[in-house]
Structure 1
Amino acid sequence: MPRSKTLPAELDPSARQLVARLRRLKDHSELTMRQLAAKTGYSAKSWERYLGGVSLPPREAVEALARIAGTDPVPLLALHEIAADSRDGRRARPAVQQQDEQHERDQGQPAGPTAPHSEPTSAHSGPTAVPTPPRAAEPTPGRFPHIALTAGIAALAVALSAVLLLMLRLDDDAGQAAVTTSPRTTAASSPPSYTCRIARVDGRWSAGINQGRDTEIVYGASGADVAEAQCLLRRAGISPGGIDGMFGPLTLRAVKTFQDRAGLTVDGMLGPRSWKALRG
């Protein structure tokens, strides 16, 4: 497996944590960049940028990789949201500085700090004449709201960093802890649901999902035919992972194990002979 490139030093800590987790999921799935692109709809070049820390991946890409790896996407999406907020905060600071300079130009004042000036000394001359001290420079009108805005952004970034550290600690301690999500997020990240209804139909085993079809399927396929095969593999005592209709690494390993036990050619492809053995 090729060694991952070192992430950029200027990468935000939350973005760095997100990319590191996405890299681990990609390596665990044993997918190449082309296979990852085919399964998620994002190009291989895009994934190279995402996993290299060059650009922040979209939420949909993060959810797709989590679904392929069979893991809960909610912690990854929380990291993505914090990384996106930090990125937007950094972009907002130059804009605030430009607004300050524009406001000062509109007021007819120089962009730099105002130099203190001295009042003329008293017109009275004599031994008791005391020079008038210089007046303190007055603050630039309109600057305090922008300073307050900048301070608010900094406080928000600190708060988000604290939340991120707490989430990472809880995630490390509890592992795959149950996380309550909104209905919209759950619906968007949940794969299709299949139920195995194992029964003998005309002397052949069936899971009741693909109407008894023996369609040839290979690694990377998805749908009802894959779910039917997963149910029959589980009936044969070999776990393919979840019954999710995705022909991924776990299902591929289960198919090869079954073919080896049945004395078939171990090629990881479900053709007519493998289907016949599964349904036998």
Structure 2
Amino acid sequence: MSRWAVLPAELDPRVRQLVVRLRRLKDHSGLSLRQLAARTGYSPKSWERYLGGRSLPPREAVEALARALDEDPTRLLALHEVANEAWGSRRAETAMPTEPEILSSEVTDANGSRSPGRSLHVALVAGAVALVLALSTAVLLVMRMSGEEHRPPSIPLAATAPSAPASPSRSTPPYTCRLERIDGRWYAGISPTRGAILANGHAGPDVAEAQCLLRRAGISPGNIDGIFGPVTEDAVKREQRRAGLVVDGIIGPHTWKALRR
């Protein structure tokens, strides 16, 4: 079994869960990184980054790994969806690469060294963008200065009419559970889905439907507010444990089947 390096401490738990699952599948297969690259079409360096938690594998890479190892991709893709959402929230801070490195994708010159063409292209694009921004700023400044010359004198603040009070912010839409058994399955009258992938952080009518069905099963998901939070996640795990399913707190087709029966 491979001896993996410790994952970065700052790695989001949802991304960590995906990486750990991919590591276990790779170890169980007995394949080396080169063999895994040959089967999936993604280079050994790419898989080294993905399995080291330094870069998020694209959805296509996860599907390719599942096919190469004869693994059902459903759960892997559910984990990837949650991890991708967590990764996107930190992309601006970390600036870590997410593009796959396809095998034989590097451009080399006649001597076998890397071509600087890509770096030059990036520099030219960045320069063009900077020039456009500078010109746009100059045009806006001229328009503002021109407009101020013809602007009528402003009315004193004291003479203005009082502003209307701000309307209260919208709260989460209320959901009402209307439980009904149709064709041997339970429905709460909010969403008819039987396969939506839901996890901590999701929100909407599908989540509210699941919360109603959890409450019907005698497990409290908290408020029926359509927000998948820690309390709802804990309730999902309890239902998965009782139904003999994989306990991961993620609602997929199997968990929906258990909730609706």
- Pairwise same-fold verdict (TM > 0.5): no
Bigger Cα Rg: 1
Please classify the TM superposition score into its range, dividing by the shorter chain length.
0.3 to 0.5
